[in-house]
């Protein structure tokens, strides 16, 4: 049985075939070609199996998002499959999963390399999405420091004083700063390399979304997270499908005027922190 005879399909490249990534891809992939990249063969097998048995056209590739060469090979592979219309980056590690060095190398530098690499292959009219985090709103960075971050090439990010002196102090700080840097990476690309290719790029900053990563966080620091969720307007965690709904909008043609921006989807956690209804660490 041939399910789809169309050979010229638009390509969706997903880096990080985890829960949120799989939900986003599934929401937008009908009639398109999906390329999944992940360091975990197990995740690739599971997600590609589930997608294939729901009628989607999927290829997989082992990619290490800590390595520039591996990410560039992934971008080249995506381009070899057809017009790269969508790039989604959900590869990441959370505070209770890794040390500061690892979080910064993956969530900040690796994301930078991915944005750079796909900034060379995106098709005209294409769209990208980086999954950042609500934590990107939890550690305000002074404007001058943000301008330094914006000016730094990806290779030099680890040398910036805010990274060496502050972010390296703890996994929590590393994660908050890396996720804020993601917002800046999207702004910078939207105004430079991605702009030149007539492609858009944005970030989504999710609150606590129930995925394997969130299970790890709750197992390590559940009480604090529970208080944070209880103090929020939604009084619950979110789901990958809710993130996918917003992602589909940002990646789609109705969002053609939206680039270089962040969409916070946190059930009201940041609002409760900013208004003093919840204090971080309580
Ligand atoms: N779940 C949450 O509550 C939450 C909240 C805010 C932000 N986020 C962010 O969302 C993104 C997706 O997380 P998720 O919750 O879907 O988790 P997940 O664990 O389901 O997905 C993460 C994926 O990244 C992959 N990955 C890890 N290291 C990699 C590497 N070196 N190279 C390639 N792939 C690698 C993992 O194998 C996994 O498939 C992450 O960036 C995370 O920081 C998650």
The CATH number assigned to the domain holding 193 equals: 3.40.50.720
Phi-psi region of 268 (alpha: psi -120 to 50; beta: other; left: phi over 0): left
Other CB atoms within a 10 A radius of the CB of residue 253 amount to 8
Count of residues for the chain?
Answer: 282
Asked if residue 214 has pLDDT above 90, the reply is: no
Residue 215 included in any domain: no
Asked if residue 222 has pLDDT above 80, the reply is: no
Please check whether residue 68 is in contact with residue 153, taking contact to mean a CB–CB distance below 8 angstroms.
no
Asked if residue 221 has pLDDT above 80, the reply is: no
Please check whether residue 226 is in contact with residue 199, taking contact to mean a CB–CB distance below 8 angstroms.
no
Please check whether residue 129 is in contact with residue 83, taking contact to mean a CB–CB distance below 8 angstroms.
no
The pTM of this model reads 0.97
Q: Best of 23, 37, 92 to mutate for ligand 1, by most ligand atoms within 8 A of CB? A: 92
Residue 251 included in any domain: yes
Asked if residue 142 has pLDDT above 80, the reply is: yes
Residue 75 included in any domain: yes
Q: Domain range spanning residue 126?
A: 11-209+240-268
> How many domains is the chain built from?
1
Provide mean pLDDT across the span 46-53: 97
pLDDT band at 28 (very low <50, low <70, confident <90, very high): very high
Phi-psi region of 197 (alpha: psi -120 to 50; beta: other; left: phi over 0): alpha
Residue 90 included in any domain: yes
Q: What is the pLDDT of residue 5?
A: 86
Q: What is the pLDDT of residue 2?
A: 79
Residue 225 included in any domain: no
Output the CA 184–ligand 1 centroid distance in Å: 19
Q: What is the pLDDT of residue 259?
A: 98
Residue 173 included in any domain: yes
Q: What is the pLDDT of residue 217?
A: 83
Active site residue 175: yes
Q: What is the pLDDT of residue 212?
A: 86
Residue 234 included in any domain: no
The residue nearest atom 24 of ligand 1, judged by CA position, is 91
Active site residue 225: no
Residue 224 included in any domain: no
Q: Which of 79-83, 200-204, 278-282 has the lowest mean pLDDT?
A: 278-282
Angstrom distance (rounded) from CA 37 to CA 26: 15
């Amino acid at each position: 049985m041939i399910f789809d005879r169309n050979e010229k399909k638009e390509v969706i490249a997903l880096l990080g075939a985890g829960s949120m990534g799989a939900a986003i891809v599934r929401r937008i992939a009908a009639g398109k070609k999906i390329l999944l990249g992940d360091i975990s063969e197990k995740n690739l097998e599971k997600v590609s199996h589930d997608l294939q048995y729901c009628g989607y056209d999927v290829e997989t590739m082992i990619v290490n998002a800590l390595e520039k060469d591996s990410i560039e090979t992934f971008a080249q592979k995506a381009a070899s499959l057809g017009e790269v219309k969508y790039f989604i980056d959900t590869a990441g590690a959370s505070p209770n999963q890794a040390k500061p060095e690892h979080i910064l190398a993956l969530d900040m530098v690796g994301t930078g390399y991915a944005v750079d690499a796909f900034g060379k292959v995106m098709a005209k009219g294409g769209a990208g999405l980086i999954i950042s985090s609500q934590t990107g709103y939890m550690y305000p960075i002074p404007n001058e420091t943000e301008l330094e971050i914006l000016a730094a090439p990806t290779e030099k990010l680890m040398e910036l004083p805010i990274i060496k002196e502050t972010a390296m102090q703890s996994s929590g700080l590393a994660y908050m700063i890396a996720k804020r840097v993601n917002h800046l990476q999207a702004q910078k690309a939207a105004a430079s390399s991605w702009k030149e290719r007539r492609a858009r790029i944005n970030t989504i900053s999710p609150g606590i979304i129930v995925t394997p990563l969130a299970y790890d966080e709750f197992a390590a620091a559940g009480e604090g997270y529970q208080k944070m969720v209880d103090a929020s307007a939604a009084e619950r965690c979110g789901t990958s499908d809710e993130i996918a709904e917003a992602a589909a909008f940002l990646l789609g043609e109705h969002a053609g005027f939206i680039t270089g921006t962040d969409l916070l989807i946190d059930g009201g956690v940041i609002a409760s922190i900013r208004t003093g209804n919840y204090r971080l660490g309580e």
